[in-house]
């Protein structure tokens, strides 16, 4: 009796297994054969283009990802220099694959337009919520005395795929050696403090984004732009415009003449990009006044031709 | 013939898959925002439903029923439908690129939807013959298309309506879906007298 029961049980397990497995096996074989028969010739050019792109899918080129940009290039997109992550090498490689003339490529970098470190600004209240800029922004625009300035909770640090951003003294600094200008931090900052600018190592920037009148700015931050428009008046090349009570330097027009830096009363104007922390633990800037005006002569056109 | 027509129309109107059986709600809400996506999705649904029935009915009656393996139908049906759609997709890509483009992403998306499995299993439950099953699947697909088209019209109206703030978006969409569903219940008494 026992043996019969065993064999029945065995059959009731084996038959479904055999049928299920058999169906799966046959379907698998059919699929493989079909894939062989109906295989499309792979687009070699597309794959070559795709391989030349870095594959970060950051979207900085304006397409939805590396695949989309590769497809656009294959279908006649004329600009092979849209990838800031791959930089010059990628642009050259793409141009070679596509048979385009070498594109003009201006290296770019992200820049934090704020110097409101803890010794320059104060706190309006003690924030104890989630350590995220987006969250703090929702609570009376954050705890800083300047509600336009960097809060230093590091939303940009969290999204940076290259570990290029550090928070020190309460504000974000971008390490220009690591930054690939992909623009993810630009989107992450709730204060819209980060922008992508041309990578001039002696760049002149009004490192401030506040829109308060001068008196209120002075009260809340020692290095804020007070809108005195002295730089605007002194600039010989018309690169500085006044956006209300805030001076803005157009990086493409700036000739790096140093005049605005000399007249700025609050030192809101800064020269040089952040290069990481120096030996004294303070942010080190690339202050090279004798830098060439355009640092990209070896490749492509000078600044301004975007 | 009359039987077939009754099956077809009751699948479209009375037993509408979306509005009275509540199967395939996800694509119903997801792609009813405009007519173009609704069209692509509906075509894919009709296509896959008819195909799925054409393969699952013989599989059930030739392989599963003789060995008394009805309890395996869910697993086997999913397997067979998924493989079949994959096969069709590879074929279409090569042979009929325009159709492949038209069905687009909706073809693989709809394959594992409950509406597809639902129509395959319901055909077996209702003990339909092969012809009846095919008609029923076609009706189910057409019913899905009708529901999607009607609802995309409703949604475009709702978009311009002054909806209370807390109802905006999905809540008002679900409320209007429920109202359309209630409207379809009106067909219940109609179908028996339609062909008499």
Q: Would the pLDDT of A58 be above 60?
A: yes
CATH number at residue A211: 3.30.70.20
Q: What is the pLDDT of residue B140?
A: 93
Q: Which of A14, A18, A19 to mutate to test binding with chain B, by most B CBs within 10 Å of its CB?
A: A19
Q: Are residues A15 and B90, on separate chains, in Cβ contact within 8 Å? A: no
Q: Would the pLDDT of A288 be above 60?
A: no
Domain check: are A56 and A178 in the same one?
Answer: no
Residues of B in contact with A27 (CB under 8 A): 79-80, 83
Domain check: are A164 and A208 in the same one?
Answer: yes
A40's CB contacts (< 8 A; 6+ apart) are B93, B94
Whether B172 has its CB under 8 Å from any CB of chain A: the answer is no
CATH number at residue A75: 1.10.15.40
Tokens of residue A6, six digits? 């065993």
Domain check: are A228 and A190 in the same one?
Answer: yes
Length of chain A: 306
Reported as a pLDDT band with limits 50, 70 and 90, residue B54 is very high
Whether B79 has its CB under 8 Å from any CB of chain A: the answer is yes
Q: Would the pLDDT of B134 be above 80?
A: yes
Whether A29 has its CB under 8 Å from any CB of chain B: the answer is no
A7 to chain B, closest Cα gap in Å: 16
Domain check: are A62 and A122 in the same one?
Answer: no
Domain carrying residue A166: 108-285
Domain check: are A179 and A260 in the same one?
Answer: yes
CA A183 to chain CA mean position, Å: 2
Percent of chain B with pLDDT over 90: 28
Domain check: are A121 and A64 in the same one?
Answer: no
Domain check: are A274 and A128 in the same one?
Answer: yes
Q: Are residues B94 and A15, on separate chains, in Cβ contact within 8 Å? A: no
Q: What is the pLDDT of residue A284?
A: 64
Task: Name the one residue in this structure whose structure tokens are 């003690």.
Answer: A126
- Indicate whether this complex's ipTM tops 0.90: no
Q: Is A201 within 8 Å of A288 (Cβ atoms)?
A: yes
Q: Are residues A34 and B76, on separate chains, in Cβ contact within 8 Å? A: no
Whether B59 has its CB under 8 Å from any CB of chain A: the answer is yes
Q: What is the pLDDT of residue A2?
A: 62
Domain check: are A172 and A269 in the same one?
Answer: yes
Domain check: are A204 and A277 in the same one?
Answer: yes
Helix, coil or strand: residue A174: strand
- Mean pLDDT for the stretch of residues B78-97: 85
CA angle A293, A299, A304 (to 5 degrees): 50
Q: Write the CA distances from A163 to A86, A160, A166, integer angstroms.
A: 16, 6, 8
Q: Are residues A19 and B63, on separate chains, in Cβ contact within 8 Å? A: yes
Average pLDDT in chain A: 81
Instruction: Count how many domains chain A has.
Output: 2
Q: Are residues A31 and B63, on separate chains, in Cβ contact within 8 Å? A: no
Domain check: are A88 and A117 in the same one?
Answer: no
- Mean pLDDT for the stretch of residues A284-305: 44
Residues of B in contact with A19 (CB under 8 A): 63-64, 67, 69, 72, 76
- Mean pLDDT for the stretch of residues A260-269: 88
- Is A294 inside a domain boundary? no
Nearest to B69 among A16, A27, A40 (CB): A16
Whether B67 has its CB under 8 Å from any CB of chain A: the answer is yes
Q: Would the pLDDT of A1 be above 70?
A: no
- Mean pLDDT for the stretch of residues A97-122: 83
Helix, coil or strand: residue A109: strand
Reported as a pLDDT band with limits 50, 70 and 90, residue A83 is confident
Domain check: are A124 and A198 in the same one?
Answer: yes
Whether B103 has its CB under 8 Å from any CB of chain A: the answer is no
Nearest to B79 among A16, A23, A35 (CB): A23
- Mean pLDDT for the stretch of residues A233-256: 87
pLDDT digits (tens, 9 = 90+) for A10-26: 778 888 888 889 989 99
Whether B86 has its CB under 8 Å from any CB of chain A: the answer is yes
- Is A200 inside a domain boundary? yes
Q: Are residues A15 and B69, on separate chains, in Cβ contact within 8 Å? A: yes
Domain check: are A165 and A244 in the same one?
Answer: yes
């Amino acid at each position: 009796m026992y043996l019969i029961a065993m064999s029945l049980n065995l059959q009731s397990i084996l038959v479904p297994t055999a049928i299920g497995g058999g169906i799966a096996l046959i379907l698998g074989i059919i699929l493989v054969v079909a894939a062989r028969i109906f295989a499309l010739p792979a687009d070699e050019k597309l794959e070559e283009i795709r391989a030349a792109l870095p594959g970060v899918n950051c979207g900085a080129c304006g397409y939805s990802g590396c695949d989309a940009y590769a497809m656009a290039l294959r279908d006649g997109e004329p600009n092979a220099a849209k990838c800031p992550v791959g930089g010059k090498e990628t642009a050259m490689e793409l141009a070679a694959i596509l048979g385009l003339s070498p594109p003009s490529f201006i290296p770019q970098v992200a820049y934090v337009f704020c110097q409101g470190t803890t010794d320059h600004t104060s706190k309006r209240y003690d924030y104890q919520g989630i350590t995220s800029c987006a969250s703090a922004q929702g609570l009376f625009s954050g705890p800083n005395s300047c509600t336009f300035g960097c809060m230093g909770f590091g939303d940009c640090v969290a999204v940076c795929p290259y570990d290029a951003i550090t928070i020190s003294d309460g504000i974000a600094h971008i390490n220009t050696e690591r930054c690939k200008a992909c623009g993810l931090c630009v989107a992450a900052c709730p204060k819209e403090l980060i922008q992508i600018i041309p990578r001039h190592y002696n760049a002149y920037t009004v490192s401030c984004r506040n829109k308060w009148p001068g008196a209120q700015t002075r009260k809340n931050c020692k290095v804020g732009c007070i809108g005195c428009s002295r730089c605007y008046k002194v600039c010989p090349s018309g690169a500085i415009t006044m956006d209300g009570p805030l001076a803005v330097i157009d990086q493409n027009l700036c000739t790096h003449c140093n005049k605005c830096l000399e007249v700025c009363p609050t030192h809101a104007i800064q020269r040089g990009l952040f290069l990481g922390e120096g030996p004294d633990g303070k942010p080190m800037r690339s202050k090279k006044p004798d830098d060439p005006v355009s640092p990209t002569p070896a490749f492509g056109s000078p600044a301004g031709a975007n | 013939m009359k039987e077939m027509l009754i099956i077809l129309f009751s699948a479209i109107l009375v037993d509408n898959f979306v509005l009275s059986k509540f199967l395939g709600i996800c694509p119903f809400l997801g792609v009813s925002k405009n007519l173009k996506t609704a069209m692509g999705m509906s075509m894919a649904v009709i296509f896959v439903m008819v195909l799925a029935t054409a393969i699952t009915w013989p599989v059930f009656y030739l392989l599963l029923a003789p060995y008394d393996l009805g309890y395996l139908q869910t697993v086997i049906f999913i397997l067979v439908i998924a493989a079949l759609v994959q096969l069709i997709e590879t074929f279409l890509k090569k042979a009929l690129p325009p159709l492949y483009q038209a069905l687009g992403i909706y073809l693989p998306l709809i394959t594992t939807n409950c509406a597809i499995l639902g129509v395959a299993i319901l055909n077996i439950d209702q003990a339909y013959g092969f012809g009846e099953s095919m008609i029923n699947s076609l009706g189910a697909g057409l019913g899905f298309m009708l529901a999607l088209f009607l609802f995309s019209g409703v949604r475009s109206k709702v978009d311009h309506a002054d909806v209370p703030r807390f109802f905006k978006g999905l809540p008002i969409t679900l409320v209007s879906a429920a109202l359309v569903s209630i409207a379809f219940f009106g067909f219940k008494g109609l179908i028996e007298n339609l062909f008499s």
